[in-house]
Amino acid sequence: MLKARLAGLFYFPSTSHNAQTMTNEINFDIASLGPTDITPLIDCVRRCYGESYPNPVMYDPSKLKEAIDTKLMHSVIAKLPNGEIIGHCALTFDGPQNTSPEAGKMMVDPNYRGHQVAEKMAQKRIEIARTLALPGFWTECVTNHPYSQHEMIAFNAKETGLFIGDMPSTIAMKGLENHPDTRMSLLAFYLSIEDRPHTIYLPSNHTTHTQELAQDLNLDRKVLVSNQAGKGQTIINTVVNSGIQTANISVELIGNDFLQAVENQLKSIQDLNLASIYLDLPIEQEAASKAFEDLEKHGFFWGSWMPNYSSKSDVVRLQKINQTVNVDEIVCARPQGDSVKSYVVSEWKRTQKSA
């Protein structure tokens, strides 16, 4: 399951928000990131975000090289003839078990927006996903504007969830409107390439919503409800990202000690004053139905369905938030996004009453 949730905003800039957009056509190539491109890439990150990008790997030459060499990250770059990198995006895997990776780390130099740089990189990324024979990939789009969502929709990606107040206000995208007093929520999308049918287990109150999502994505899923408890000892891992004040609890095996194992993880991080805690639940395990219900009693609620997340299972990423968020500021690009937003917000309110 999840080793570390490396933040990677999927952001397509809009020309209407950028006074520096060039009027002349530019000549650039779309390519995979090579060893000699790492330093120019870091320069590009700084032109786009200064020092505020939430993933420190994108500033570290040795860690970037390691991610590329181990094939945990497949990077696409836009490159000028002089070697300057003006854009980047990537498919990022959490590990060898992760079969539907994150599509993110999308950025375009403020001086070169409005030239289809992001769109061409995104198309190349889909080509790489097909070459790798991936079932699909997921991404998170910012909700302070709808433009990045429109681009994912253009590639036929579908909304699957919402992470409320996920990113801190300290992240600043240069050349764009930012909200320095508000944590930003992210709308989750999934782009299906070649599905792998599954049977999944969820509480009865989530089956209809999940079946509707599966139908919209054209995914073959049998959604069942079970009262089966876990067996054996729970296998669980927690990774804290202090930079964005979040923690990710990854469940590999739902055992008969599941709730105690989760409570132990929560106790270990309770003094960190985190804004959000996420939990990845493998929903192909029959015990997931009951485990999900038990987690809701502890304040966790639906974040997003993540199909084909690992070679063994679909995942539902639940969230538990310790913050105030104005959900009226969350902008969705179309009614499907608004529907997903309404579902997640209503689940948040319902679970807070019962927790």
Instruction: Please say if the pLDDT value at position 13 is more than 50.
Output: no
**Alpha-carbon span 147 to 152, nearest angstrom:** 9
Same domain, 177 and 265: no
- Do 186 and 205 have their domain in common? no
Q: Is the pLDDT assigned to residue 204 strictly greater than 50?
A: yes
Last residue of a domain, one of 146, 176, 192: 192
Enter the tokens of residue 40. 């120019």
Count up the domains in the chain and report the number: 2
**β-bridge mates for residue 22, sequence order:** none
Regarding whether 342 and 213 lie in a shared domain, the answer is yes
Same domain, 139 and 47: yes
Considering only residues 47 and 312, tell me which one the structure prediction assigns the higher pLDDT. Answer: 47
- Specify whether 210 is located in the same domain as 178: no
Identify whether residues 186 and 228 lie together within a single domain.
Answer: no
Is 307 part of any domain? yes
| Residue 217 resides in a domain | yes
What is the bridge-based pairing of β-strands 276-282 and 246-253?
A: parallel
Q: What is the mean pLDDT of residues 39-58?
A: 92
Evaluate if residue 120 carries a pLDDT over 60.
yes
pLDDT for the residue 170 = 55
Share the mean pLDDT of the chain.
89
User: DSSP letter string over 38-81?
Assistant: HHHHHHHHHHHHTT--S-GGGG-HHHHHHHHHTTSEEEEEEE-T
Asked if residue 133 is part of any domain, the answer here is yes
Please tell me the pTM assigned to this model: 0.87
C-beta neighbour count of 124 within 10 angstroms? 17
CATH code for position 204: 3.40.630
Q: Is 295 helix (H, G, I), strand (E, B) or coil?
A: helix
pLDDT, residue 98, reads 93
CATH of the domain at 148: 3.40.630.30
Single out the residue in 192, 213, 236 at which a domain terminates. 192
**Residue 142 half-sphere exposure toward CB, CA atoms < 13 A:** 28
Examine the domain organization and report whether 300 and 228 are in the same domain: yes
Three-class secondary structure of residue 85 per DSSP: strand
pLDDT for the residue numbered 182: 72
Per-residue pLDDT, averaged over 57-84, amounts to: 95
Same domain? For 202 and 263 the reply is yes
Residue 187 pairs in a beta bridge with 141, 162
pLDDT by residue (tens digit) across 185-198?
999 999 999 999 99
* Residue whose tokens read 């509707």: 212
Range of the domain at 347: 198-354
Tell me the average pLDDT across 223-236: 96
Q: Are residues 211 and 118 in the same domain?
A: no
Note the pLDDT of residue 47: 93
pLDDT band of 95, cuts 50, 70, 90: confident
CB 1 within 8 A of CB 97: yes
7 within some domain: no
Residue 244 reports pLDDT greater than 70: yes
| Domain match, 240 and 187 both | no
Q: Are residues 54 and 125 in the same domain?
A: yes
